[in-house]
């Protein structure tokens, strides 16, 4: 083997190993990775749970395919486009967000967006150096490729099961986790809400979610128009103090009862569907609706 071939082999193994390492590190701290993706407010949490593991599987397979030179031409181009896409995404993050960790290596190895951009540029340069490689020839190629793809996709879902997705599909409670709800009712602050007698609507929001703000505005206008007691609306919200105060100002709900709820508890309770509105009668859940399910007539009849 020529020296140049040895160098290319080392570079290719390093690149493949890098993708495998990033996939494993993300998987080891997948909950933090999920919350990071969720913080962009592009998808509901159930979708994020799926996307995070599919991305891990994708990186894992890229690394394996690079090392083994499987479908190398397509793998090389896909890797290049992936790195360019990740780099453009990181430029956006560096410019418009103040993230200390872009989660390229999960939560276990912190890397800010600028450093990650530099890492990606170096990766692209290394990729250019190993562009001209031939496919590795081996027996039972189709079977091996199919097995690798299946294993690569399955591993992230088996190694770190999706609790939120499991609860959504296998729990009898499709819209709200009643076990978590009963536990939440024992919280001292929620106990002070006095929801065990009478009819109330509990609302669940993310402070930075635009649909949550629209949902709160819609509900607030119904309350104001029909002269409903504001104490009948209990607002559960997740976010920073500044975000919550901004939410109150934008929705003009400073006089409402707000309760700051941890994001993990909120996600476990309503499966990451924001906003969610829970109709409660004498402490018992009667109905759960989303943003489109808020009906003025129904709200008035329930609260009056």
For the sheet with 284-290, list strands across it.
257-260, 233-238, 199-206, 276-281, 284-290
Give the Cα separation of 21 and 80 in Å (integer). 18
Considering only residues 41 and 11, tell me which one the structure prediction assigns the higher pLDDT: 11
User: Once rounded to an integer, what is the mean pLDDT over residues 240-249?
Assistant: 91
Give the Cα separation of 50 and 72 in Å (integer). 27
Helix%, strand%, coil% for the chain, nearest 5: 60, 10, 25
Q: Which of 83, 90, 78 is nearest to 40 (CA)?
A: 90
Q: Report whether pLDDT(5) > 50.
A: yes
Q: Report whether pLDDT(172) > 50.
A: no
Confidence of residue 244 (pLDDT cuts 50, 70, 90): very high
User: Once rounded to an integer, what is the mean pLDDT over residues 277-282?
Assistant: 93
Confidence of residue 173 (pLDDT cuts 50, 70, 90): very low
Residue 182 burial class via C-beta count within 10 angstroms: exposed 0-12, middle 13-18, buried 19 and up: exposed
Considering only residues 286 and 29, tell me which one the structure prediction assigns the higher pLDDT: 286
**In Å, what is the CA distance from 199 to each residue of 102, 224, 281?**
44, 17, 4
Confidence of residue 164 (pLDDT cuts 50, 70, 90): low
Sign of the torsion angle spanned by Cα atoms 88, 91, 96, 97: positive
Q: Report whether pLDDT(265) > 90.
A: no
Map tokens 């476990």 to a residue.
268
Q: What is the pLDDT of residues 130-149, one digit of tens each?
A: 988 877 777 777 888 888 88
Sign of the torsion angle spanned by Cα atoms 34, 37, 39, 43: negative
Q: Report whether pLDDT(79) > 90.
A: yes
Work out the percent of the chain whose per-residue pLDDT is above 70: 93
Q: Report whether pLDDT(171) > 50.
A: no
Find the length of the chain: 304
Residues 27 and 152: beta-carbon distance below 8 Å: no
**In Å, what is the CA distance from 128 to each residue of 12, 46, 119, 131?**
11, 37, 15, 5
Q: Report whether pLDDT(98) > 80.
A: no
Q: What is the pLDDT of residues 195-240, one digit of tens each?
A: 888 999 999 999 988 889 888 988 988 898 889 999 999 999 998 8
**Domains, the chain, ordered by start:** 3-169 (no CATH), 173-303 (3.40.30.10)
CB atoms within 10 A of CB 175: 18
Q: Report whether pLDDT(72) > 80.
A: yes
Residues 167 and 177: beta-carbon distance below 8 Å: yes
Listed in sequence order, the residues at least 6 apart from 57 whose beta carbon sits closer than 8 Å to its beta carbon are 23, 152, 153, 155, 156
This prediction has a pTM of 0.64
Q: What is the pLDDT of residues 181-197, one digit of tens each?
A: 888 877 765 666 678 88
Residues 157 and 49: beta-carbon distance below 8 Å: no
What's the confidence (pLDDT) of residue 272? 82
């Amino acid at each position: 083997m020529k020296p140049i071939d040895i160098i290319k082999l080392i570079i290719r193994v390093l690149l493949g190993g890098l993708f495998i390492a990033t996939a494993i590190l993300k998987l080891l701290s997948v909950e933090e990775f999920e919350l990071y993706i969720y913080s962009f407010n592009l998808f509901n949490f159930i979708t994020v749970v799926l996307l995070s593991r599919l991305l891990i599987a994708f990186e894992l397979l890229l690394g394996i395919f690079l090392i083994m030179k499987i479908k190398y031409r397509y793998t090389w181009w896909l890797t290049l486009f992936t790195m360019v896409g990740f780099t453009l995404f990181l430029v956006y993050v560096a410019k418009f967000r103040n993230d200390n960790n872009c989660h390229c290596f999960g939560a276990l190895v912190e890397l800010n967006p600028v450093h990650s951009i530099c890492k990606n540029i170096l990766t692209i340069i290394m990729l250019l150096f190993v562009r001209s490689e031939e496919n590795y020839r081996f027996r039972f190629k189709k079977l091996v490729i199919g097995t690798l793809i299946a294993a690569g996709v399955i591993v992230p879902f088996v190694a770190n099961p999706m609790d939120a997705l499991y609860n959504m599909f296998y729990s009898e409670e499709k819209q709200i986790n009643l076990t978590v709800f009963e536990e939440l009712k024992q919280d001292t602050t929620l106990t002070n809400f006095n929801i065990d007698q009478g009819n109330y609507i509990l609302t669940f929001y993310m402070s930075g979610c635009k649909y949550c703000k629209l949902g709160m505005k819609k509900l607030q206008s119904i309350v104001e128009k029909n002269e409903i007691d504001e104490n009948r609306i209990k607002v559960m919200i997740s976010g920073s103090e500044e975000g919550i105060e901004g939410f109150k100002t934008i929705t003009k709900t400073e006089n409402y009862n707000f309760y700051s709820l941890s994001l993990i508890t909120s996600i476990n309770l309503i499966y990451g569907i924001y906003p969610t509105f829970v109709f409660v009668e004498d402490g018992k859940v009667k109905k759960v609706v989303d943003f489109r399910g808020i009906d003025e007539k129904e709200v008035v009849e329930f609260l009056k």
